[in-house]
């Protein structure tokens, strides 16, 4: 077996790798060269992926531009080949990507064509992130993360966060 290298004009902060047959899928948070969030001119991250055929076939990459800033902490490929991302979205970052608004946790399903098919949002209090997940044979998704967390550069009395565990119906 020979090695193959996959790449493009973007940075992918790798959060998941899946090998199904001869297809490898890399997924995580992606930033496209030159794409920034206004008005602060900061690098914008989106849920992103790359798929490659280990036998020498096509390579596909893509990202999903959600409103405002978003960051995928983890991702997996489901049994239909769709990607499921988990992380934080709907926040604002400035300067060197310091988070200055609270974000909300999200689970997001993207089909093989790159279209969003389902989303679950977890709102505060304060900052909420989904950091890990898995699913059961019937499709329910168990997740863990944090809520009631501070923004970057919070005063010491504002620090602290709470752990969360949850279950949600299948993303379709």
- Domain assignment present for residue 25? The answer is yes
Q: For residue 3, what pLDDT band results from cuts at 50, 70 and 90?
A: very low
Number of domains in the chain: 1
Of 19-23, 133-137, 161-165, least confident by mean pLDDT is 161-165
- Domain assignment present for residue 2? The answer is no
Range of the domain at 91: 10-168
- Domain assignment present for residue 21? The answer is yes
Taking only the tens place, the pLDDT of each residue in 85-125 is 999 887 766 666 666 777 888 999 999 888 999 999 887 77
Kindly write down the DSSP assignment for every residue of the chain, as one continuous string.
--------SEEEEEEEEEEETTEEEEEEEEEETT-EETTTTEE--EEEEEEEETTS--EEEEE---SSEEEEEEEEE-TTS-EEEEEEEEE-EETTTEE-S--EEEEEEE-TTS-EEEEEEE--SSEEEEEEEEE-TT--EEEEEEEEEPPTT--GGG---EEEEEEEPPP-
Q: For residue 149, what pLDDT band results from cuts at 50, 70 and 90?
A: low
- Domain assignment present for residue 4? The answer is no
- Domain assignment present for residue 1? The answer is no
Q: What pTM was computed for the model?
A: 0.81
């Amino acid at each position: 077996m020979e090695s193959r290298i996959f790449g493009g004009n973007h940075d992918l902060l790798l959060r998941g790798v899946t090998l199904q047959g001869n297809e490898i899928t890399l997924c995580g948070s992606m930033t496209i060269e030159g794409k920034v969030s206004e008005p602060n001119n900061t690098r914008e991250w989106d849920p992103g992926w790359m798929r490659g055929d280990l036998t020498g076939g096509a390579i596909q990459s893509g990202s999903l531009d959600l409103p405002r800033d978003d960051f995928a902490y983890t991702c997996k490929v489901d049994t239909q080949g769709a990607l499921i991302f988990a992380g934080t979205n709907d926040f604002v970052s400035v300067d060197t990507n310091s988070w200055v608004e609270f974000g909300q946790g999200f689970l997001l399903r993207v089909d093989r064509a790159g279209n969003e098919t389902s989303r679950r949002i977890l709102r505060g209090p304060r900052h909420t992130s989904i950091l890990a997940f898995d699913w059961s044979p019937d499709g329910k998704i168990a997740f863990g993360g944090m809520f009631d967390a501070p923004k970057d550069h919070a005063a010491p009395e504002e620090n602290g966060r709470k752990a969360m565990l949850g279950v949600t119906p299948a993303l379709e």
